[in-house]
A = this chain, B = another copy of it.
């Protein structure tokens, strides 16, 4: 029997969900339990980002397990901190929940939140729970630190810089199409079993993304400081245009350099979509897109961890995709429609 939230009340519920909160960071002086949290960043700069996730807009609970949702809600915020070349340290989590959620459902959500905190060594230091008249609402703020000279903004790309991206692109978008199709089929005929066995990669990319802490560490270990960086949450085109606009430069990227997983390509075809379109405009990959000085090209090629997808050119040359048959197409931000 699921336990109704009303059994705890507002204060009781947040106490219950956060009672086993661990701290991993020296910088957390005071966590949950006062008017505010208190942090000691010891002279480093403080990096802040926030995200609001709303049921039916950003996630669909029909195919999103609550533990995964909690994990992902943390990860998408940490990804923004890493995209500044900074180290996440603390998060606050507020949730609004309607009466249709049980205590066990929220425990699963917080299980995912705590799991992400442990994996990324960030401290949950505040937030609250509230009732909601409708669906589930999750608001997370992530706080990190960095030395000022290490912070990487979007506006530092220079003509001649190399454009790199980590991992592969478009898989989360294709995974979403797959889950939406299965949902539609299920709603039409609840006896049909989902056919996801061969699709673990793309579904995993959507439901359990990771923030690229490893990329930041790798770049630092090779003393490579990107000139501009952003995480790919709204699609490569959109993010690249952000960097170019803010850096007042243009770019040239090559279709045949865009990294895609074989499953992403296969499924794109099955859904009658052009794989390149998925790579350019599919969001929620949470890979890091960055520009670096060409002096680092030898190390980058040796590392073989990133894809070098193009270079930065003068603003007048525009933002261009060179297709496989060597034709130029202007990049446009399609915008990414969430689940």
A305 within 8 A of B: no
1/0 per residue, CB under 8 A from B, across A131-148: the answer is: 111110101010110101
A56 to chain B, nearest CB (A): 4
- Tell me if A37 and B57 are in contact (CB < 8 A): no
Residue contact A36 to B86, C-beta cutoff 8 Å = yes
Which residues of B have CB within 8 Å of A90? 48
- Provided the pairs A30-B153, A33-B246, A96-B57 are in contact, do residues A45 and B52 lie with their beta carbons within 8 angstroms? no
Report the separation of the CA atoms of residues A338 and B42 in the bound assembly, to the nearest whole angstrom: 39
Measured CB to CB, the nearest residue on chain B to A47 is B36
A230 at the interface (CB under 8 A from B): yes
Asked whether A35 lies within 8 Å of B230 as measured between CB atoms, the reply is yes
Determine the chain B residues whose CB is within 8 A of the CB of A132 once the complex forms.
Answer: 54, 57
Q: Which residues of A contact B (CB under 8 A)?
A: 9-11, 29-30, 33-43, 45-52, 54-58, 80-81, 83-84, 86, 90, 92, 94-96, 125-128, 130-135, 137, 139, 141, 143-144, 146, 148, 151, 153-155, 229-231, 246, 335
Please provide the 10 A-B residue pairs with the shortest distance between their CB atoms, ordered closest to farther.
Answer: A139-B139, A52-B94, A36-B49, A35-B83, A39-B46, A134-B134, A35-B80, A141-B141, A56-B133, A50-B92
19 further contact pairs, Cβ within 8 A, besides A35-B80, A51-B94, A96-B137: A10-B335, A29-B45, A29-B148, A34-B153, A35-B49, A35-B81, A35-B83, A36-B83, A36-B84, A36-B144, A38-B47, A39-B46, A50-B94, A50-B127, A50-B128, A52-B94, A57-B131, A57-B133, A137-B137
